[in-house]
Amino acid sequence: MSTARRAAARWRRARAASSLARAPAAAVGLTLAGCTGPLSALAPAGAAADAIATLFWWMAAGAVLIWLAFVALAVYAVSRRSRVLSRRAGGMLIIGGGIVFPLVVLTVVLVYGLALLPRLLAPAPGNSLKIAVSGEQWWWRVRYLGPGGSPVELANEVRLPVGEPVELSLASPDVIHSFWIPSLAGKMDMIPGRVTRLVLEPSRTGVFRGVCAEYCGIAHALMMFPVVVLERGEFARWLAQQAAPAAVPVSPDARRGHALFLASGCGACHTIRGSAARGAVGPDLTHVGSRLSLGAGILRNEPDTFVRWIARTEQVKPGVHMPAFGMLPADDLRALAAYLDSLQ
């Protein structure tokens, strides 16, 4: 083979190795570009999420080091002249680059990950705020357990004070769900017959998103909830407001909607504290008008969406246990929506 042909062959081999090196890097770049937004575990806003994100970067760094070692060996192999390595040199490359180096890197990552476990599994202090969350089909029952007081129940929304550890006890009365707020902590299963616990310690204020991370049935993908982290004083005022009974409706539409709510049997499934509605099957609606969303995070909280939810429940959320009330006249639906929207 002529010198020019040998040079061309070496160039083609080097170009192939370069393409091999660039392809995974491009894939990593595209993957990381998608790791943003309200469900990103790489934008931590809590102590546990920060530890998990740091572990991810350690694992990513370890993977990159091993990948670079592999690429370096590949480039070295394809760019060499046709001269064959000695048995000793080849063995050193295989053992050093293929066994010893990956073993050292993976051991470092393993030790670091194990060292995080006590931090992630540590219980909350005894005087911490406690919240009981129940995963239902397909919504979230949330109870704030105050010291010596009656639980404050709401649904499909969690609010937390910034900078304070909060202990969540998680359960399910029906099927396995998985409670996950990627920006605040790792996921935790909710298993019928068991109570699991999760500690959240938000590090900054804001609105985040939680989801069910375990397939639980037909409406699994429609089972979300907003998580609002507030300053401590603002959180205390919000919790006191949630503990109060519902205000007496003032406007004519709201008063008419209140009467329709009770006459239509809605109170058999829903509780509105301060009224005759005492149902325990569905979500507590005492202050539903103050929540950020409806239907477990799938609709904006507005009068028009109340009408849509009440009239076409099954169409909005397939599999939901709440019957639709589309048979009601449009004026009645608007009055019900006005009443529910007034429950601030």
Residues 163 and 57 in one domain: no
pLDDT band of residue 105 (cuts 50, 70, 90) is very high
Q: Is the pLDDT of residue 272 over 60?
A: yes
Tell me, what's the pLDDT at 271?
95
More confident residue, 179 or 28: 179
Residue 311, Cα to own-chain centre: how many angstroms?
29
For residue 83, the model assigns a pLDDT of 64
Say how many C-beta atoms besides its own lie within 10 A of residue 11's C-beta.
11
pLDDT of 244 > 90? The answer is yes
Beta carbons within 10 angstroms of residue 295's beta carbon: 23
- Give the residue-averaged pLDDT of 187-203: 95
**Mean pLDDT, residues 42-52 taken together:** 91
Dump pLDDT digits (tens) for 64-95: 999 998 888 888 777 766 566 667 776 777 78
Q: Which two tokens stand for residue 84?
A: 């064959």
> For a pLDDT cut of 90, what percent of the chain falls above it?
70
| pLDDT, average across residues 160-166 | 95
When comparing pLDDT for 34 and 335, which is higher? 335
Please identify, among 188, 209, 243, the residue that sits at the C-terminal boundary of a domain: 243
* Whether residue 58 is found in the same domain as residue 102: yes
The rounded percent of the chain whose pLDDT value lies above 70 is 86
Residue 162 contacts residue 120 (beta carbons within 8 Å)? no
127 neighbors 259 (Cβ within 8 angstroms):
no
Residues 134 and 229 in one domain: yes
Residue 80: the pLDDT is 67
Measuring CA to CA, how many Å separate 130 from each of 11, 117, 124, 167?
A: 65, 22, 9, 5
Edge to edge, the sheet with strand 224-230 lists 158-161, 224-230, 206-212, 177-180, 188-190
Q: Is the pLDDT of residue 174 over 50?
A: yes
- Is the pLDDT at 52 greater than 70? The verdict is yes
When mean pLDDT is compared across 12-16, 68-72, 160-164, 224-228, the lowest value belongs to: 12-16
- Report CA Rg, the chain: 28
pLDDT (0 to 100) of residue 129 = 93
Q: Specify whether the CB–CB gap between 131 and 169 falls below 8 A.
A: yes
Rounded to whole angstroms, how far apart are CA atoms 225 and 283?
A: 13
Least Cα distance to 288 among 74, 325, 296 occurs for 296
- Residue 136 sits at φ, ψ, to 5 deg, of -105, 180
Query: Would the pLDDT of 30 be above 60?
Result: no
pLDDT band at 136 (very low <50, low <70, confident <90, very high): very high
* Residue range(s) defining the domain that contains residue 164: 129-243
In terms of domains, do 11 and 113 share one? yes
Helix (H) or strand (E) holding 335: helix 330-341
Looking at the structure, do residues 35 and 80 belong to the same domain, yes or no? yes
Judgement on whether residues 54 and 104 belong to the same structural domain of the protein: yes
What's the mean per-residue pLDDT of the chain? 87
For strands 188-190 and 177-180, give the pairing. Answer: antiparallel
Helix axes 252-263, 330-341, angle to 10 degrees: 100
What is the pLDDT at residue 20? 45
pTM of the model: 0.81
Give the residue-averaged pLDDT of 55-64.
92
What gap in Å lies between CA 249 and CA 255, rounded to an integer? 5
- For the stretch 289-317, pLDDT in tens is 999 999 999 999 999 999 999 999 999 99
Are 170 and 110 part of one and the same domain? Answer: no
Q: How many residues does the chain have?
A: 344
pLDDT at 27 over 90: no
Helix (H) or strand (E) holding 61: helix 47-79
Most confident segment among 7-11, 77-81, 113-117: 113-117
- CATH number, domain of 163, equals 2.60.40.420
Q: Residue 286, exposed/middle/buried by CB under 10 A (0-12, 13-18, 19+)? A: buried
Q: Is the same domain home to 237 and 257? A: no
Domain count, the chain: 3
Token pair of 146 as six digits: 């105050």
Is the domain of 262 the same as that of 199?
no
Give the separation between CA 134 and CA 131, rounded to whole angstroms: 10
Is the per-residue pLDDT at 265 higher than 80? yes
Structure token digits, residue 130: 């406690």
What is residue 24's predicted lDDT score, i.e. its pLDDT?
53
Spatial separation of the C-alpha atoms in residues 330 and 57, rounded to whole Å: 55
Give me the mean pLDDT over the 172-177 stretch. 94
Instruction: Give the chain's largest Cα–Cα span.
Output: 97
